[in-house]
Chains A and B, each alone.
Chain A
Amino acid sequence: MTAALETFINNPLGKSVTIKDVIEDFEFLDDWEERYAYIIDMGKQLPDFPDDERREENYVHGCQSQVWLIHHVDDATGKLYLLIDSDAMIVRGLAAIILIALNGREPRELLTTDIDELFEQLDLFRHISPTRGNGLRAMVGKIRDIAAAQAA
Chain B
Amino acid sequence: MTDLSVANTVARQMFDVESVRKDFPILSQTVHGKPLVYLDNGASSQKPTAVLDAMDRYYREMHSNVHRGAHTLGDRATAAFEGARETVREFLNARSTREIIWTRGTTEAINLIANGLAGKLKAGDEILVSFMEHHANIVPWQMLAERTGAKVIPVQVTPQGELDMDSFDSLLGENTRILALTHVSNVLGTVNPVQQLVAKARKFDVITVIDGAQAVPHYQPDMQALDCDFYMFSAHKLFGPTGIGALYGRESMLEAMPPYQGGGEMIERVSFERTTWNTLPYKFEAGTPAIAEAVGLGAAIDYLNRFDRAAMERAEQELLARSNALVETVPGMELIGTAANKVPVISFKIAGLHPSDIGTLLDQQGIAIRTGHHCAMPLMDFYGVPGTARASFAFYNTLDEVEQLFTALRKIQRLFA
| A residues at B contact (CB < 8 Å) | 32-33, 36-37, 40, 64-66, 87-91, 127-128, 132-134
A-B contact pairs, 13 of them (CB 8 A): A32-B364, A32-B365, A33-B411, A36-B360, A40-B415, A64-B387, A66-B386, A87-B386, A89-B416, A90-B354, A90-B357, A90-B360, A132-B360
Cβ distance A37 to chain B, nearest Cβ, rounded Å:
6
Q: Give complex CA distance A126, B99 in Å.
A: 50
Q: Please give 7 more A-B residue pairs, beta carbons under 8 A apart, in addition to A88-B354, A90-B354, A91-B354.
A: A37-B415, A64-B356, A64-B371, A88-B357, A89-B354, A89-B357, A90-B361
Q: How many A-B residue pairs have CB under 8 A?
A: 45
A65:B361 contact, CB within 8 angstroms: no
Interface size on B, residues (CB 8 A): 18
A36:B415 contact, CB within 8 angstroms: yes
Q: Which of B400-417 contact A (CB under 8 A)?
A: 411, 415-416
Q: Which of B341-386 contact A (CB under 8 A)?
A: 353-357, 360-361, 363-365, 371-372, 386
Q: Interface digits, B21-32 against A, CB 8 Å rule (1 contact, 0 not)?
A: 000000000001
Option from B356, B386, B411, B416 in Cβ contact (under 8 Å) with A91: B356
Q: Give complex CA distance A63, B150 in Å.
A: 35
Residues of chain A within 8 A (CB-CB) of B356 are 64-65, 88, 90-91, 133-134
Q: Interface digits, B276-309 against A, CB 8 Å rule (1 contact, 0 not)?
A: 0000000000000000000000000000000000
In order of increasing CB-CB distance, the 10 nearest A-B pairs are: A88-B354, A32-B364, A64-B356, A88-B356, A65-B356, A90-B357, A89-B357, A88-B357, A65-B354, A64-B372
Option from A65, A128, A132 in Cβ contact (under 8 Å) with B386: A65
B360:A134 contact, CB within 8 angstroms: yes
Residues of chain B within 8 A (CB-CB) of A33 are 411, 415
**Chain B residue at minimal CB-CB distance from A33:** B415
Option from A40, A64, A127, A134 in Cβ contact (under 8 Å) with B416: A40
**Chain A residue at minimal CB-CB distance from B412:** A36
**Chain B residue at minimal CB-CB distance from A37:** B415
Q: Give complex CA distance A66, B411 in Å.
A: 24
Q: Which of B321-357 contact A (CB under 8 A)?
A: 353-357
**Known contacts A33-B415, A37-B415: A133-B372 contact under CB 8 Å:** yes
Option from B353, B365, B371, B372 in Cβ contact (under 8 Å) with A89: B353
Q: Give complex CA distance A37, B364 in Å.
A: 13
Residues of chain B within 8 A (CB-CB) of A91 are 354, 356
Cβ distance A121 to chain B, nearest Cβ, rounded Å:
21
Q: Give complex CA distance A33, B360 in Å.
A: 12
Q: Give complex CA distance A59, B364 in Å.
A: 28
Q: Give complex CA distance A138, B356 in Å.
A: 15
Residues of chain A within 8 A (CB-CB) of B387 are 64
Residues of chain A within 8 A (CB-CB) of B415 are 33, 36-37, 40
Cβ distance A134 to chain B, nearest Cβ, rounded Å:
7
Q: Give complex CA distance A125, B415 in Å.
A: 21
Q: Give complex CA distance A124, B291 in Å.
A: 43
**Chain A residue at minimal CB-CB distance from B363:** A132
Q: Give complex CA distance A134, B372 in Å.
A: 11
B371:A36 contact, CB within 8 angstroms: no
Cβ distance A42 to chain B, nearest Cβ, rounded Å:
14
Q: Give complex CA distance A60, B357 in Å.
A: 18
Residues of chain B within 8 A (CB-CB) of A127 are 364
Q: Give complex CA distance A18, B416 in Å.
A: 24
Q: Which of B304-318 contact A (CB under 8 A)?
A: none
Residues of chain A within 8 A (CB-CB) of B372 are 64, 133
Cβ distance B370 to chain A, nearest Cβ, rounded Å:
11
Q: Interface digits, B12-54 against A, CB 8 Å rule (1 contact, 0 not)?
A: 0000000000000000000010000000000000000000000
B354:A87 contact, CB within 8 angstroms: yes
**Chain B residue at minimal CB-CB distance from A35:** B364
Q: Give complex CA distance A128, B363 in Å.
A: 10
Q: Give complex CA distance A66, B354 in Å.
A: 10
Residues of chain B within 8 A (CB-CB) of A36 are 360-361, 364, 415
Q: Give complex CA distance A91, B371 in Å.
A: 14
Residues of chain A within 8 A (CB-CB) of B355 are 64
**Chain B residue at minimal CB-CB distance from A87:** B354
Cβ distance B22 to chain A, nearest Cβ, rounded Å:
29
Q: Interface digits, B189-218 against A, CB 8 Å rule (1 contact, 0 not)?
A: 000000000000000000000000000000
Chain B CB within 10 Å, residue with most, of A90, A127, A128: A90
Q: Give complex CA distance A36, B32 in Å.
A: 14
